[in-house]
Structures are given as structure tokens and as C-alpha cells.
């Protein structure tokens, strides 16, 4: 079983965030845009998933994904030592491996999800679900009561992920995506 830490993004994550962004999107944000939004925009909240091996943040077990049970079902076990067999033996890694990130903006009582991206080599391990869980929790603490996002109509993986978190389609934006003119589905949840 793999372990990941879900923690807030920080300026040092710039290159790793951009690597993931480029691997996931046809028209990636620039590294500067992304790190600025992630760490300087006071309306924004960004979390990253870091492969276990360095100390700090919340540790979560990838096998414990939310959705089928209740939000909060991810086990955050700060006492556990991710990536290590002997409890307490934290191995510091100088260059932690980021495998995913997710971000949103909170404007008044609405949270607008801007990005959810997981390195293709690390998908289907519950990483996006762990990121979303932390993101929505942090956004609620900032006052968000409902959440929205746009997603490509053909992006079945993302739509299935969002539906697990209670998002439902509530409209569309025609030709929203610059790279191929595909429509966006607008999704909302107030849970
Ligand atoms: C969408 C994305 C973020 C999912 O990341 P992930 O870490 O693989 O997702 P998780 O493992 O947390 O999956 C959680 C749930 O989402 C759904 N899901 C995720 N990937 C899926 C897929 N390929 N097919 C169907 N359902 C999928 C499932 O319900 C899954 O639960 P399950 O594994 O128990 O069935 C990832 O595929 C990605 O980065 N895609 C490219 C970027 C992107 O499209 N982002 C969304 C922009 S709106």
C-alpha cells in the first residue's frame, strides 16, 4: 500500500506542480501562474499530494477513499509514519515527490474548483479523492457553502470523481475549451 501526505502547497512546489499540470492538461497554466495562484492568491486554497518519505502534514492511506462512505472517511493518521515500516522512523527526503494537486477559489460562500490533477502514473489510488476531501474541508472553513466547477463533457473519470462528492450537472458552457472547442459541463454541490 502506498502512502501520501496531503498538505497545503508552498512556493518550493513550483516545478513539481508544473510537471503535473503539463502531464494532465492540453493547455497547461504556466509555472508562474500556477504557483502564484497556489500560494499568493488570498482567495485560493491548494493542496498537494506528496509521496511518503518526508516529515510533516497529514498522512492519509490511499486505500481509504471517500465517497462510498461519508466525507471524512479518509483516515488521517498523523501518528503514523508514511512510507516507513518502523513507527517513528521518519526519513527526510530532500526532494519530495509530488503526485497530484487540487485547488479552488472561495468567493463569498461559493467555492470554485480550478484544478484537480494527478500524475498519470499514480491514478486510481484515491489521490484525487483525498485531495478533494481536504480541499472542500478547508474551503468550508473559509466560508464556502456550495461548490462549482467546469469539466469537459468527455472527461468521464473526473465526472465520476465529482459525482462521488455529490456534484451534479447543472448546465453547460458551449465551446468552453480553447484547445478543442469541447463543451464544459457545469457541476454544483451544496453538500
Ligand atoms: C480525474 C483525476 C484527477 C482522477 O484522479 P485519481 O487520483 O486517479 O482519482 P481517484 O483514484 O481518487 O478516484 C476516485 C474516484 O473517482 C472516479 N474515477 C477516477 N478515475 C476514474 C476513471 N478513469 N474512470 C472512472 N471513474 C474514475 C472513481 O469513482 C474513483 O473511485 P474508485 O477508484 O473507488 O472507483 C485524474 O484522472 C486526472 O488527473 N485527470 C487529468 C486531469 C483532469 O482531467 N482533471 C479534472 C479537470 S476538471
Contacts of 73 (CB under 8 A, 6+ apart): 64, 65, 66
Q: pLDDT higher for 171 or 65?
A: 171
At 73, is the secondary structure helix, strand, or coil? coil
- What distance in Å separates the CA atoms of residue 82 and residue 117, rounded to the nearest whole number? 22
User: What pLDDT does 44 receive?
Assistant: 98
Active site (annotated) includes residue 162: yes
CA of 158 to the centre of ligand 1 (A): 5
Say if CB 104 and CB 135 are below 8 A apart: yes
Cβ atoms of 147 and 139 within 8 Å: the answer is: yes
Q: How many CB atoms lie within 10 A of CB 20?
A: 24
Give Cα 169 distance to the centre of its chain. 20
Q: Would residue 176 show up in a list of annotated catalytic residues for this protein?
A: no
Convert the pLDDT of each residue in 148-190 to its tens digit: 999 999 999 999 999 999 999 999 999 999 999 999 999 999 9
- Exactly one of 46, 122, 162, 177 is catalytic; which is it? 162
Question: Tell me, what's the pLDDT at 96?
Answer: 74
Contact assessment for residue 161 and residue 132, using Cβ atoms and an 8 Å cutoff: yes
- Structure confidence by residue, pLDDT tens digits, 14-38: 999 999 999 999 999 999 999 999 9
Choose one of 112, 158, 165, 188 to mutate for the ligand 1 pocket test, by most ligand atoms within 8 angstroms of C-beta.
Answer: 158
109 phi/psi in degrees, rounded to 5: -105, 20
* Cα–ligand 1 centroid distance for 86 (angstroms): 31
pLDDT band, very low/low/confident/very high, at 53 (cuts 50, 70, 90) = low
pLDDT at position 30:
97
How much is the pLDDT for 55? 44
**How far is the centre of ligand 1, averaged over its atoms, from the C-alpha of 89 (Å)?**
32
List the domain boundaries for the chain: 3-144
Question: In CATH, which superfamily holds the domain spanning 3-144?
Answer: Gcn5-related N-acetyltransferase (GNAT) (3.40.630.30)
User: Per the residue annotation, which of 110, 150, 163, 182 is the catalytic one?
Assistant: 150
pLDDT confidence of 91, banded at 50, 70, 90? very low
Cα 185 to Cα 7: distance, rounded to the nearest angstrom: 29
The residue whose CA has the least distance to atom 30 of ligand 1 is 161
Residue 181 zone, left/alpha/beta (φ > 0; ψ -120 to 50; rest): left
- Tell me whether strands 58-61 and 110-118 are parallel, antiparallel or unpaired: unpaired
Give the tens place of pLDDT for each residue, 109-154. Answer: 999 999 999 999 999 999 999 999 999 999 999 999 999 999 999 9
Amino acid at each position: 500500500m502506498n502512502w501520501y501526505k496531503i498538505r497545503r502547497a508552498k512556493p518550493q512546489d513550483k516545478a513539481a506542480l508544473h510537471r503535473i499540470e503539463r502531464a494532465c492538461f492540453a493547455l497547461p497554466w504556466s509555472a508562474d501562474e500556477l504557483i502564484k495562484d497556489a500560494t499568493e492568491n488570498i482567495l485560493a486554497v491548494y493542496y498537494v499530494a506528496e509521496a511518503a518519505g518526508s516529515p510533516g502534514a497529514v498522512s492519509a492511506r490511499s486505500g481509504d477513499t471517500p465517497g462510498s462512505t461519508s466525507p471524512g472517511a479518509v483516515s488521517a493518521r498523523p501518528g503514523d509514519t508514511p512510507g516507513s515500516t518502523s513507527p517513528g522512523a521518519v526519513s527526510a527526503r530532500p526532494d519530495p515527490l509530488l503526485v497530484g494537486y487540487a485547488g479552488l477559489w472561495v468567493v463569498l460562500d461559493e467555492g470554485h474548483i480550478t484544478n484537480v490533477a494527478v500524475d498519470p502514473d499514480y491514478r486510481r489510488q484515491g489521490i484525487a479523492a483525498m485531495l478533494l476531501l481536504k480541499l472542500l474541508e478547508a474551503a468550508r472553513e473559509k466560508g464556502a457553502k456550495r461548490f462549482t466547477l467546469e469539466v469537459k463533457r468527455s472527461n468521464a473519470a473526473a465526472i465520476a470523481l465529482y459525482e462521488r462528492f455529490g456534484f451534479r450537472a447543472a448546465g453547460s458552457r458551449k465551446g468552453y475549451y480553447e484547445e478543442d472547442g469541447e463543451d464544459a459541463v457545469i457541476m454544483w454541490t451544496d453538500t
